[in-house]
Structure 1
């Protein structure tokens, strides 16, 4: 019997990172978390930076633990998108990468708009306009003296493992510099905006073998010759691989720090209506398009919990808050969960209360009431964006697959089913790591010829919870309350 392929799936989030041992066989798909570490942007003199050398150290420690506990066939890294490091002569990192939550891009979209209109930019990139997109970060750099190469974060970490330079395609498609139809960098855009197109590296397909680990890495982890695989390095691209769908008419929600809400398509939707609705067309594994909207996500809740912990409030835990919120009045207070004031770290409960007050909503006074407000508002965003995506793409949605950490939140899952009026299938929670491992396994010879085969293996090996829609709540009325604040606001 052939031994299952065993790989290190490095899954990096903006608040924590994990290194998982993933075993993949004909009827086997198993994850074991062997290393976890905290992550987060570090404030320095008014800026927010990633401790990328610290992240690299933790990646090495995790890979070493995978190698110590069994055979190691491959390594793959997925992470959040958009952020990057700049390399100078000899591959030297020129400074800690900035976090996308840094305020340096305030006003930059308006600056870019004077050279390239929103409509023209969308027609090339198909990308949702978010002020922290890579294109706006690069414009805010000002000078590129001494810069020889730009590497997105998972590509930077891959470079430090292998010495090989490149840009994995699914992550490149999130930058605002990628032509979604030509499937290549738009050097015309870089020229018009005065950006150095020569620093953009060659593109890689997800599933390509980048190369073996460097000798210094092999010495540290204790295994030589292990290949590093370019997976769907945008964590959502990996997560969508692990959506256990067998229906064609499905929508997905990859629910974590951000919520990525949308459809899987064969070609981009570049209509004016899609641009006005601010939907994004990002590359997926096997040439698919992830037609989706970035929703603020569980960041608002996790940052609220952090704030309460900093204030030393007693008995404030996430499970306790969610249990209390389940019994709290439904849809009593709803806000626009995508308000940009919720983007940056800080006193999130106070911001939620401020938004409620501005909207004329009842102000939530307790942690439980604030938690219920956040969950209800997040579900309204899910409802609005799935319905809009289906309309823009001309698709029906018969079921919603909710994967990622949010799939463990029963209140969130049940309310999503209620709001949309279709079943929600929740799980797997570790979708990004599973998709990472599956793409690696295929590159290493596993019989997983397409996404259908990968998803069939997920269904055989992982249980999902099914939430049927319940009647009773007036979601239309709640949505109209949020819409009254959103009218005329371009997201």
Structure 2
């Protein structure tokens, strides 16, 4: 029995799963789950409740150990966010959420750095949430006090082991890594007037990075989408959709596409776990439903979506509109964006959201086919969105291609697979 623990932190749900890699088919047993969201910090900023998150991670790992020995632990989280450590390795303050308003002026920063130059250097789509824009807005005094910057997956690893390291896939979301060399871009670090020693060496998934209570900890695809894609076995011509808070829509490619067409379509070239890139684009996903669900008292997501199945399709809106990023009233914002009549009930709002996400994904799939030079022939959906039959059916209709549904916990499984490779390699 080769039991490993996958720490999988999403932007709304933290999970610890156990996977027995000697069993077929692979299944992720969730031993602990914790719903969370950003909190308003004392200075009015939007932060992650890091101390509580780390406590929940340890609760999950303790439960994993209760079930038997673990051969390894691996950590993945969402991308772009980071933490700053000071002398002695202490976290200077809770990490900012990418939804904080401090990056509202990101376009001015992009213009100063050069939009075409940014894409040529990093191959990353321009979005307000990018680490490069977060750092440009970060409090200078705290930056001056910092000794190390860690992306969130490696910040969890540091909490567990004390290690100070980067990882290819999580660093690759930052828009600070040189796409040609795979190292931190000295040009951009200098442009932001940052100390280059802030940035730790970038290691590959599978590297050992210490122990937690005697259990080896290995780097995995730190960016959760990289781990999710690792659990897919997509045939040539297929696209992937990692369907969660965000829907990341793309395909694996052997190398980056830095063409003007890719840049104008705002596609990212994010490193894959082993070789090549995940050529993808973000679509705002279940965040829209989750915020409405919170306003409605927290009914189960699957129930909400199933009640919309009998509702006729209606108007649609652009899920990526910036108006949805920090609204206090998501339902009202969606009603306004889609011009829904006042008579529209909740089922109509949900149907509008699901329709809009599906057709936005279809638009990206169409763009993807044009950029890779051949139409997408199938779509593999992994993550929580794949467990919503209405959404899957609407994706089929909107794209006109077969849609295969993978595991809801694909990220944890991909995380575990990388750990398994690392453990077995060290046993040889």
The whole-number CA distance in structure 2 between the counterparts of 1:235 and 1:344 is 23
* Aligned residue number for residue 157 of structure 1: 156
Give the aligned length: 424
Aligned residues: CA RMSD:
1.7
Q: Secondary structure at the match of 1:444?
A: helix
Displacement, 1:416?
0.5
* Aligned residue number for residue 95 of structure 1: 93
The whole-number CA distance in structure 1 between the counterparts of 2:226 and 2:302 is 29
The whole-number CA distance in structure 1 between the counterparts of 2:402 and 2:331 is 31
Indicate conservation of the 8 Å contact 1:18/1:37, yes or no: yes
Q: Give TM-score scaled by structure 1 length.
A: 0.84
Q: Give TM-score scaled by structure 2 length.
A: 0.96
Match of 1:285 among 273, 281, 291: 273
Q: Would you say 1:318 and 2:301 are equivalent positions?
A: yes
The whole-number CA distance in structure 1 between the counterparts of 2:109 and 2:125 is 17
* Aligned residue number for residue 353 of structure 1: 335
Displacement, 1:395?
3.3
Indicate conservation of the 8 Å contact 1:74/1:229, yes or no: yes
Q: Secondary structure at the match of 1:327?
A: coil
* Aligned residue number for residue 11 of structure 2: 14
Aligned pairs (5 A) from 1:211-250: 211-213=210-212, 218=213, 224=214, 226-245=215-234, 247-250=235-238
Displacement, 1:263?
0.7
Displacement, 1:364?
6.9
The whole-number CA distance in structure 2 between the counterparts of 1:145 and 1:320 is 49
Q: Secondary structure at the match of 1:365?
A: coil
Q: Secondary structure at the match of 1:9?
A: strand
Query: Cα deviation per residue 1:245-290 (whole Å; 9 max; x = unaligned)?
Result: 2x11110100001100011111011111111111111011112201
Structure 2: gaps (5+ residues): none
* Aligned residue number for residue 285 of structure 2: 297
Indicate conservation of the 8 Å contact 2:249/2:282, yes or no: yes
Q: Secondary structure at the match of 2:407?
A: coil
Q: Would you say 1:273 and 2:273 are equivalent positions?
A: no
Greater Rg by CA = 1
Indicate conservation of the 8 Å contact 1:333/1:363, yes or no: no
Match of 1:39 among 15, 27, 36: 36
Aligned pairs (5 A) from 1:138-217: 138-143=135-140, 144-213=143-212
Displacement, 1:233?
0.7
Q: Would you say 1:410 and 2:380 are equivalent positions?
A: no
The whole-number CA distance in structure 2 between the counterparts of 1:422 and 1:188 is 43
Indicate conservation of the 8 Å contact 2:379/2:401, yes or no: yes
The whole-number CA distance in structure 2 between the counterparts of 1:192 and 1:306 is 41
* Aligned residue number for residue 106 of structure 1: 104
Indicate conservation of the 8 Å contact 1:364/1:373, yes or no: no
* Aligned residue number for residue 117 of structure 1: 114
Distance verdict in 2 for CA 1:329–1:61, change over 3 Å: same
Q: Would you say 1:425 and 2:404 are equivalent positions?
A: yes
Q: Secondary structure at the match of 1:19?
A: strand
Displacement, 1:446?
7.0
Indicate conservation of the 8 Å contact 2:167/2:204, yes or no: yes
Q: Secondary structure at the match of 1:414?
A: helix
Query: Cα deviation per residue 1:283-322 (whole Å; 9 max; x = unaligned)?
Result: 1111220111111011001111111228xxxxx5433332
Q: Secondary structure at the match of 1:185?
A: coil
Query: Cα deviation per residue 1:327-375 (whole Å; 9 max; x = unaligned)?
Result: 1112x11001110111125211100011123xxx656721111101101
Query: Cα deviation per residue 1:360-412 (whole Å; 9 max; x = unaligned)?
Result: x6567211111011011001111000110121122332110011001100000
Structure 1: gaps (5+ residues): 219-223, 311-315, 448-491
* Aligned residue number for residue 325 of structure 2: 343
Indicate conservation of the 8 Å contact 1:307/1:346, yes or no: no
